[in-house]
Amino acid sequence: MKQRRYILIALAFWGMYSFSESRYLAAEILKYAKLPLRELEVQQNVKFCEFGGAELFLDFVRLKRKAYKDMGAVIFVHGDLISGDRKGEALALAKAAAARGYLGVTIDYRLSGDMRSDNNPDNDRLQVGARFPAPVLDVRCAIRWVRAQHEALGLHPGKIVVGGVGTGGYLALMAGLSGEGKKMPNVGDLSAEARRATNDVRAVLNLGGATDTTAQYWFERTKRFRGTRQIASLVGDSPAGNQRLYTVSSPISFINDKSAPVFTFHGTADYVFPYDAAITLDEEMKKKGVPHTLMTLPAVGYEFKGRDGKVNSRALKQVLDRAFQFLEVSMRYDPASIIAKRQEELQKELKKEQPKDDDWW
């Protein structure tokens, strides 16, 4: 009993530490918003899909003025597919995207972590969480839902991208590269309109995600990395134990000449997935003739941290700027005009609020 108590206390402290880290990075991300955050509106807990009774929700962020049309959308997938502790980072990225003239979206997905029974919380047995391909299907459902709602959201249906950090990047690659492929089923309780929509994307933002989980040597060499353990919790076993499942759960297995272009950032000091993952993806994309932008920075790790363990703000800004430049080219989208229009509106509003000389007397 004491051992169990100590484990629970340790998990609680880890959760607090993880949440604090996530909140700090979120604050750093928001420093580089192109418009004041007060100009954004957030709509939370919008149901987009249901799997076997498990309801999934998303949040979206956009400029308060809803008159804009044909906007681009960026769906951000949070990291930590075991506990979901990184949701704050995804929401911050969604806000940063909205402040640059996009619709920012962040989504729920079924987690792979083990969970105690809700019916009997005192039961020592653990219920197994979601298994592959559940989270990937959830991301694909979100893409379909967003596309089906493009008119209501003011979006262009052909300008939707998906991205994420760490394991979120892995899921983004899986959902974005698999597209309408037949290797994974399209399941889930969707509206008829959403079922008719495709889950293809215009591009993928991969910020430090896994790319190849198939080789046993990779698994053995990198199992000390946190991301590898998370994928093992999702897929189960190891590549030697189930080669076929690990092949189907590897993003590089889905690359073909029609794949969406990918932007990858991977720091050489990443401790979630090794830097080699980015090199492997780059090589495979080039073999298939698919556009791939690889950006790396030395001595930068997961969550853009430097050697001192703190977020490298300069590196973060460089990555965000390059990533959004990539989106503008890949999506053929000019968000600057939307931002300029809103800034002009703000200036007019400020002039109206300024008192006239007579008002001072």
Among 38, 91, 74, 104, which Cα is nearest to 326's?
74
Residue 312 lies in a domain: yes
| Residue 120 pLDDT exceeds 60 | no
Strand bridging mode 54-63 / 40-51: antiparallel
Q: Is the pLDDT of residue 217 over 60?
A: no
Task: Give ∠ CA 277-205-41 in degrees, rounded to 5.
Answer: 145
Contact 83, 113 (CB under 8 A): yes
Does 8 fall in a domain? Answer: no
Quick check: 245 and 213 in contact, CB under 8 A?
no
361 within a domain of the structure (yes/no): no
Residue 337 within a domain: yes
196, part of any domain? yes
pLDDT at 115 over 50: no
- Structural domain includes residue 2: no
Mean pLDDT of the chain: 81
Q: What is the pLDDT of residues 301-347, one digit of tens each?
A: 888 888 888 888 999 999 999 999 999 999 999 887 777 777 777 77
CB atoms within 10 A of CB 27: 12
Helix (H) or strand (E) holding 56: strand 54-63
User: Is the residue at 247 inside a domain?
Assistant: yes
Q: pLDDT band at residue 182, thresholds of 50, 70 and 90?
A: very low
Q: What is the pLDDT of residue 76?
A: 98
**Residue 268: band (very low, low, confident or very high) from pLDDT cuts 50, 70, 90:** very high
Give pLDDT tens digits for 47-74: 998 887 788 999 999 988 666 788 999 9
- The count of C-alpha atoms lying within 13 angstroms of the C-alpha of 130, restricted to the half-sphere facing its C-beta, is 21
pLDDT band at residue 228 under the 50/70/90 scheme: confident
Residue 44 lies in a domain: yes
* 156 beta partners: none
Residue 92 pLDDT > 60: yes
**If you write DSSP's letter for every residue of 155-205 in order, what string do you get?**
EEEEEEEEEEETHHHHHHHHHHHHTT-SSS---S---HHHHHS----SEEE
Residue 267 belongs to a domain with what CATH number?
Answer: 3.40.50.1820
| Confidence tier at 116 by pLDDT (50, 70, 90) | very low
Domain extent, residue 347, equals 27-112+120-352
Count Cα atoms within 13 angstroms, Cβ side, for 344.
6
Task: Domain count for the chain, please give it.
Answer: 1
Task: Label residue 140 by pLDDT band (50, 70, 90).
Answer: very high
Does the pLDDT of residue 184 top 60, yes or no? no
Q: What is the pLDDT of residue 5?
A: 47
pLDDT at 307: 83
- pLDDT on residue 18: 42
Q: What is the pLDDT of residue 112?
A: 87
Distance CA 157, CA 32 (A): 27
Residue 94: the pLDDT is 95
- Does position 208 have pLDDT exceeding 80, yes or no? yes
